[in-house]
Amino acid sequence: ENGTHTGTEAGTGQPGLSPADTAKNAAACRAVDFVEDGMRVGLGTGSTAAFMVRRLGQLVREAGLRVTGVPTSSRTAALARDEGIHVVTLAEAGWLDLTIDGADEFDPAFNLIKGGGGAHLQEKVVATASDRMIVIADPDKDVAQLGAFPLPVEVLQFGWEVTQRLIAELLEGQDVASRGITRRMGAEGPFVTDEGNFILDLHLGRIGNPPALALALNQIAGVVENGLFIDICDVVVIGHPDGHVTVR
Ligand code: 5RP
């Protein structure tokens, strides 16, 4: 599907938002148009996804839309419940009609880098248990080649230093521009994911072969999941700072 739509035409314009938030909100509201009554919907994580959860909540409360939501993080679960969305586990839902989530980068093949918010493990499990994944993004995330955004890799805490060394060795044989690796930190020490793991951020600059890298990373025993989403995303909804939307 291709076309442009404006958030305000859809009745979703919100005065007082910054241009960046206007873009996120416009993409989020347009993506929610894909949600039909009775659907089971995967709820992504991040600032763009939060606009989507709030819009869905608004439709549940004000228009009586019936949806079942499966959140991809504890943060999104809390927000969805606050918004009055019926929240269940992925096991309870069984399978999803649609997942709507943000991304850190998307390329022309709709391959993604995700995990800037540290939730890509649950996000990938939920997205791959869905008939369709819709990514909501702003134009800054539209890239010719993935890799400027550091690639998040979730690793077990157990032996993480060895896992980091094995990743560094693996990167020697990969088509990437640079090879720095940092452990993600939070306010009070190492960042710990909802699943109790650490995140290593791979500073690659350019990823020449995303499918090959994604496969190779997941061969390392201490790697739980990498943030490359290969052949998972079906539709990208791009919100612009003036409120108009492009659907690809
Ligand atoms: C979280 C993610 C997010 O979707 C991604 O980081 C984009 O976030 P934002 O919408 O805040 O830019 O993958 O793990």
This prediction has a pTM of 0.93
97 confidence band (pLDDT: 50, 70, 90) = very high
Q: What per-residue confidence (pLDDT) applies to 5?
A: 43
Q: What letter would DSSP give residue 150? A: P
Output the average pLDDT for the chain: 94
Span 77-93, average pLDDT: 98
Beta bridge partners of 106: 112, 142
User: How many angstroms separate the CA atoms of 137 and 103, rounded?
Assistant: 6
* C-alpha radius of gyration, the chain, whole number: 18
Nearest residue (CA) to ligand 1, atom 10: 48
15 confidence band (pLDDT: 50, 70, 90) = confident
User: How many angstroms separate the CA atoms of 75 and 147, rounded?
Assistant: 26
Q: What per-residue confidence (pLDDT) applies to 179?
A: 96
Whether 172 sits among the annotated catalytic residues: the reply is no
Q: What per-residue confidence (pLDDT) applies to 9?
A: 39
Per DSSP, the three-state class of 226 is strand
**CB of residue 119 inside a 6 A radius of ligand 1:** yes
Q: pLDDT at residue 3 above 80?
A: no
The best mutation among 48, 73, 136, 201 to test binding of ligand 1, ranked by most ligand atoms within 8 Å of the C-beta, falls on: 48
The Cβ-side half-sphere exposure at 211, using a 13 Å CA radius, reads 5
Ligand 1 atom nearest residue 50's Cα: 10
Span 77-82, average pLDDT: 98
124 is in an annotated binding site: no
The best mutation among 100, 104, 121 to test binding of ligand 1, ranked by most ligand atoms within 8 Å of the C-beta, falls on: 104
Place of tokens 């999803």: 96
Span 98-118, average pLDDT: 98
Q: pLDDT at residue 2 above 60?
A: no
Q: Which of 123, 154, 188, 195 is catalytic?
A: 123
Ligand 1 atom nearest residue 115's Cα: 14
